[in-house]
A and B are shown apart, each in its own frame.
Chain A
């Protein structure tokens, strides 16, 4: 029986804001990260916990003008089943299917993934690749933080202690393609060795140049990153073999992964490059 820090379970967002304005709380959503940390004694248990599970304001997936708005408490199962996701962001459902297994997917949330801020967070490269805006709220009001600014350091977010992550806005762009690939040790219940999301816009044929290229990776740095140099190389280029070769070697050069319990720097570097090469090859159909 692990440590059991005191917890409050506010019924409304206003209640939650008031609590957070008064004291420092660690939020718990589906529990799939926090309870692992408490039970495993990975660090000291939090002094106090705020249970946000009852805040229905944080649920739901909605289409708003040119963006999909995903509530922070949206579970991976809900993402997989959502017709809106299926139509507009199928890569998100693909990614959600690679997380844990059904038990984890029923409870784990996209907001929790973002706030836990693991460098291996499976949804995070997609948020980066799709220019997500993460909306934070507190008693002082709401503000929007770009994904690029949301993870400033290892396991840290841009949230102030009194803020909650409310929802994530994903701008929808005409003609944007998104691809996702996760390399894990086994086919379920695996933390990634390398996780990648690639997004671009192009006309609908294999020779057209790619525009607005976003390449994001997890598990290759202390935070999820965008590979800016590789993006620059791909920008305006069609998916040819020459381009793929150059992009792969640029990516291998650009990232500095580490050795850890799961894999090695050499492997991560090599595989990130090869997976990118394959993604481009699949699009170029050569």
Chain B
């Protein structure tokens, strides 16, 4: 439920953070309820077709043969001569017409490991098979053997010598800072893998085209990433590689770059088989083989004065990229840039490196490096608050960035800074001070033999909106608005709907500009043969960046039609189309004014603007078992401008529960480089009974660079939920948990002084573990 507070007193100069009053309407914004989800009725009636619902007559089924060793040389792939292989299509690396490379940032990952090549992780794809039915596929698998020669494997990123990337950010003088410190607090924090766990498994269907190319239909976030990958490995032209996004059942980053691999696999099989091929993963394969959130080890050394000033921050971030590079340098980059937290500090050094291990490659997951580092930062701040005997709320109030402050990259936060506003909003809505006093008294009065302890915790975070640095300039997105010959207004972008509401907010924005009802504006399908490359649906850039582009395009459309007809667009556009035919306006991204970043030195404006969030969590801890029940979470999030309050709340609520899962029960144990938790019976996400009451508070601190003032929202709630929960666990029990997830095993060990369980995210070797 949207919580409303009266707007703060406004200075005359720049727009200040304000809380959304219900019923308020601004250009591009809905009324308090907003239009109903555009594709909602189809989803609710079972009419919507996701990839596995699509029918392609004559399609065969494809499967992937994967390594079972974390590091090995592939010596050969042998087909049992006694089996009838005429009914099966087999594809190996030798069948790849173009480059045997999954095109992402670097060219290090093969589509299939070639014979003689190196297998680098336990789920790596070696060859592909396709057959007319699944029982033939199962039989064929049993008649295929892979010969390998094992090689020594590296599992600990701290021991690895293979570096994917390194980043360092520095400001001021650490020595001076620490010299002024009266107290230095050190901490090492470790976070494990997290699986995106979209409820729709990854799926791609490839259909060979008459022009020698392929059309792929599937579940994805970034059709043009797949397009580029197909061109490269299959040696196709732009027109020959067509990617059509099917309705996508959740993604959260897990379908950012991984679908390219499945699309390539399905396409290779389809071309060889001469017919469509379906690659639909089952849940076990999906968890075993696809990308996860990067595990990380984050070390803090923080200098403060006794009266509560932050004088020095020295931070080291080591991320585990897994076996191949994928998006690791960008994840590391975002991690390093956010690792200091939303706090003003004159002397900061943050050094990050991302290392390779023989585990499946890690990739994008909502937050993209920020949740990992912000967990560490917020735990560090809470420990400091306790050491200084200052309330964790008050300390943040003092340290949080204000307008005009400077970040470690030297960025001046000239506008749109709502750190204090979200902190106060969350504190008030959760009645933090009163609950903190209650829990303090309960803790003091607690007798031995008490069964349950309650706690409350707070975390403050920030999230740079859009791509890091010059990322947006490099990709040069194009988005379009057209008036068709038939007199229909249509939006053309590659931005994918995956539940966040793109197909609902884009018509809102454009219709507001044109003076139409939002139902009159159509959205073209995400088909690379139809829409331009407006960039990937990632980095919380869709509403801010691409929303901005379509607003600009709509304004140009409106201007031209009105100039021609002399009448308002809404009254004259159909007649205009009849008389003059259609019009289309392509809008290419233009850098935001006064935003400059130097990629070489990592100095300047890392992001055009930051979003701000604060979470307050209340938990009960069972002192017998260490089990945590998260009862209530308030999350205050500033997204610049709230376009659709219900959709925005949905992002906050969903992101918050994912963060709670990250903090408590989402654990992946790794043995010999293989995920032990590889089914839904063992990789656990919260059910409705585990989920707390979640209250979203939407805050607006508009960004002047975007025509609608919007910044990103999707990832922001993910940055603060976990540390708020773990801080609450400390408040309840007195124990500090430095590892995520804060499982009952870790909590009970801390409560009883028993040996701590092994650290998360690092593979152990060879123990025979029964998965019961």
Task: List residues of A whose CB falls within 8 A of some B CB.
Answer: 1-3, 36, 39-40, 101, 118-120, 183, 185-191, 219, 258-264, 266-267, 270-271, 274-275, 277-278, 281
Contacts and interface: CB of A to CB of B under 8 A. Distances in A.
A189 B689 CA distance: 10
A259 B676 CA distance: 12
A261 B669 contact: yes
Given A187-B687, A258-B770, 20 more contacts: A1-B134, A3-B138, A36-B681, A40-B284, A40-B679, A118-B772, A120-B772, A183-B625, A185-B684, A188-B689, A188-B690, A189-B687, A190-B684, A260-B772, A261-B676, A270-B748, A270-B752, A271-B625, A271-B626, A271-B748
25 contacts: A1-B134, A39-B282, A40-B284, A186-B689, A187-B690, A189-B684, A189-B687, A258-B770, A260-B772, A261-B669, A261-B772, A263-B745, A264-B745, A266-B749, A267-B626, A267-B748, A270-B752, A271-B624, A271-B625, A271-B626, A271-B744, A274-B624, A274-B625, A275-B625, A281-B449
A264 to B, nearest CB: 6
Interface in B676-694: 676-677, 679, 681-682, 684, 686-690
A191 B681 CA distance: 8
B135 A261 contact: no
A261 B748 contact: no
A251 to B, nearest CB: 14
B769 interface: yes
Nearest to A281: B449
A267 B745 contact: yes
Nearest to B770: A260
B51 to A, nearest CB: 16
Nearest to A276: B624
Task: Tell me the interface secondary structure of chain B in the complex.
Answer: loop
B212 interface: no
Nearest to B767: A259
A235 B160 CA distance: 57
Interface in B272-303: 282, 284
A187 B629 CA distance: 9
B772 A262 contact: yes
The 4 closest A-B pairs by CB, nearest first: A187-B689, A274-B624, A267-B745, A261-B676
B183 interface: no
Interface in B733-772: 744-745, 748-749, 752, 754-755, 757, 767, 769-772
Contacts of B748: 267, 270-271
B769 A260 contact: yes
Contacts of A277: 624
Contacts of A120: 772
A19 to B, nearest CB: 25
B280 to A, nearest CB: 10
A278 B687 contact: no
Interface of B: 134-135, 138, 282, 284, 449, 451, 624-627, 629, 665, 669, 676-677, 679, 681-682, 684, 686-690, 744-745, 748-749, 752, 754-755, 757, 767, 769-772
A275 B772 contact: no
A198 to B, nearest CB: 15
A190 B690 CA distance: 11
A262 B683 CA distance: 9
A258 B744 CA distance: 16
A69 to B, nearest CB: 30
Contacts of B138: 3
Contacts of B772: 118-120, 191, 219, 260-262
A278 B745 contact: no
Nearest to B679: A40
A1 B131 CA distance: 13
Nearest to A4: B135
A278 B623 CA distance: 11
Nearest to B669: A261
Contact of B135 (A3, A101, A260): A3
A267 B682 contact: no
A36 B689 CA distance: 23
Contacts of A262: 682, 772
Contacts of B665: 185-186
Contacts of A264: 745, 757
A193 to B, nearest CB: 8
B771 A186 contact: no
B205 to A, nearest CB: 16
B480 to A, nearest CB: 42
Contact of B690 (A186, A259, A274, A278): A186
A190 B772 CA distance: 13
A282 B627 CA distance: 19
B118 to A, nearest CB: 28
B669 A186 contact: no
A92 B688 CA distance: 24
A52 B687 CA distance: 32
A56 B677 CA distance: 38
Contact of B754 (A101, A191, A270): A270
A186 B687 contact: yes
A267 B624 CA distance: 11
Contacts of A186: 665, 684, 686-687, 689-690
A183 B628 CA distance: 12
Interface centre among B134, B627, B677 (most CB of A within 10 A): B627
Contacts of B757: 264, 266-267
A281 to B, nearest CB: 7
